Amino acid sequence: MIRRRHVLTCGLALPFVAKAQAAAKVVVVGGGFGGATAARFLHRNGVGVTLLEPNDTFVACPFSNAVISGERSLDAQRFGYAAVRAEGVTVVHAAAISVDAIGKTVTASDGTKLPYDRLILSPGIDIIWGGLEGYDEAAAARMPHAWKAGEQTLLLRRQLEAMPDGGLVVMSVPPNPYRCPPGPYERASLIAWYLKTHKPRSKILVLDAKDVFSKQKLFQNAWQQLYPGLLEWVSLSDGGKVVRVDPATLTFETEFGSHKADVGIVVPPQRAGAIAATAGVADRSGWCPIDPVTLESRLVPGIHVLGDAAIAGAMPKSAFAANAQAKVCADAVSALLRGDKPQDPRLINTCYSVAAPDYGFSVAGVYRPVNGVLTDIEGAGGISPLDAPDTQRVQEARYGDRWFQTITAEVFG
């Protein structure tokens, strides 16, 4: 809940003096691809920035599917904040626990109250425990989600390694929206790759609450070519929607029957990170409506929301999108702080997936505000060609590797 009382007690006397003497101050909550980028770009614009992030180390989700399939170390996914701090951003390793949008302060878990002129929330996602019947925090220790990279990623890796040849992997996929739209299908592909090369009598079954998904034709072509009989996708129309899981028996129940897994993976229903609801910027969907020019909340003035937590129109919940939004938001907030009108932005998203280590493809989009919503620019963007030669799949897999190196260098390096 937003605390309104503070404005009465200290809103008149203290901040007037303090703010007149200090430069404009922005607090950024969340040190992922969105938040860390926003903090650094604001600092470069001459704005005083404090970044609130509870963890010392960020574990990146993009490419973590390759940790699950055993081709990559989790260490390659870890990034610290030394460079962000060295650049001049004040990094505080604490969580934001409440926001006073009237008095313009954030209270951190270490008890400090941080004043702000503008607040940027980039809190990522939270899992809705119980959003799928049977799937609570305890269940995640048996049936990993691995949708926040870290221990969960390693747990799933260990389970796959321990599974005997001939085993059945089952993964349930939720309806939209969720973090990383093509992520479940890349994961299914790379698990199939692992099974094909190490446990070829095994199988992965994908139970989906949707009939269509990101890069669908590209994935399905790859599956047909690489994993016939090994990877089976069951759409919503074919009864793929999981209605309940039982972690004790690793069972997935659909409306039509049940599947007992040897390794069970649940991509769970999600919403914006908890601070979004606490600050009052999440709507009934659990996500945050924003202005497409400034990324300022439609619900609470002075608070901007970006990345996975935001309802960003046609832009997907991807690391690239969060990074692009952060840079636009940093320029918009800088303009607002100096009393200028933020410019009408264009944003780009590029997202690579692999169906096997040397089989990559991409989706891209270019977006602009139309009637208050970030909208696809017609004629631009789209997916890699379906008839591309193998050489292009190899090339795009390598471009994906390089993208990860480049973007993590921009955000954390």
Partner 1 sequence: MTGRAGIALVMILAAAAPAPPGASSCSGCHGAGAPIAGHDAKEMTESLIAYRSGARPSTVMGRIAKGFSEPELDAIAAWWAARK
Which residues of this protein are in contact with partner 1, per CB under 8 A?
A: 20-24, 41, 44-47, 320, 323-324, 327-328, 331, 334-335, 337-339, 343-348, 350, 362, 364-366, 368, 377, 379-382, 384, 392, 395-396, 399, 402-403, 406-407, 409-410
Helix 33-44 vs helix 319-337: crossing angle, to nearest 10 = 30
Altogether, the residues listed in the chain come to a count of 413
| CB-nearer residue toward partner 1: 152 or 384 | 384
Nearest in space to 115 (alpha carbons), one of 43, 27, 46:
27
Structure tokens at 215: 């890069």
To the nearest whole angstrom, how small is the minimum distance from the Cβ of residue 178 to partner 1?
Answer: 21
CB of 278 to partner 1, least distance (A): 28
Contacts 24+ apart (CB under 8 A), 355-358: 355/186, 355/189, 355/218, 355/219, 355/222, 355/223, 355/226, 356/189, 356/190, 356/193, 356/222, 356/226, 357/66, 357/71, 357/193, 357/397, 358/393, 358/394, 358/397
Listed residue (176, 134, 61) closest to 407, CA to CA:
61
Q: How far is the CB of 121 from partner 1 (least distance, A)?
A: 20
Taking the complex as a whole, the smallest distance from the CB of residue 328 to partner 1 amounts, in Å, to 6
Nearer to partner 1, 36 or 160 (CB): 36
Strand pairing of 288-289 and 78-79?
unpaired
The smaller minimum CB distance to partner 1, of residues 152 and 349, is found at 349
CB-count exposure of residue 45 (10 Å: 0-12, 13-18, 19+) = middle
Nearest-approach distance from CB 411 to partner 1, in angstroms = 9
Strand partners, 350: 364
Considering the complex, state which of residue 149 and residue 319 has its C-beta at the smaller distance from partner 1: 319
**Residue 16: CB minimum distance to partner 1, A:** 9
Q: Min. distance of Cβ 341 from partner 1 in angstroms?
A: 11
Amino acid type, 249: T
In whole angstroms, the minimum distance from the beta carbon of 82 to partner 1 comes to: 18
Cis peptide before 177, with omega less than 30 degrees from 0?
yes
Q: How far apart are CA 348 and CA 23, in angstroms?
A: 31
Looking at the Cβ atoms of 197 and 405, the one nearer to partner 1 is: 405
- The Cα-based distances of 273 to 13, 87, 121, 282, 310 in angstroms read 34, 27, 9, 9, 10
Closer by beta carbon to partner 1, 30 or else 345: 345
User: What is the smallest separation between the CB atom of 219 and partner 1, expressed in angstroms?
Assistant: 17
Tokens at 53, concatenated: 């992030």
3-state secondary structure of 318: coil
Task: Rank residues 46 and 239 by Cβ distance to partner 1 and give the closer one.
Answer: 46
- Least distance CB 311 / partner 1 (angstroms): 19
Query: Is the CB of residue 212 less than 8 Å from the CB of residue 307?
Result: no
Closest CA to 359 of 187, 189, 214: 189
- For Cα atoms 70, 71, 76, give the angle at the middle one, nearest 5 degrees: 105
- Select 14 or 141, whichever has its Cβ closest to partner 1: 14
- Closer residue to partner 1 (CB): 142 or 368: 368
Q: Which of residues 136 and 331 has its CB atom nearest to partner 1 in the complex?
A: 331
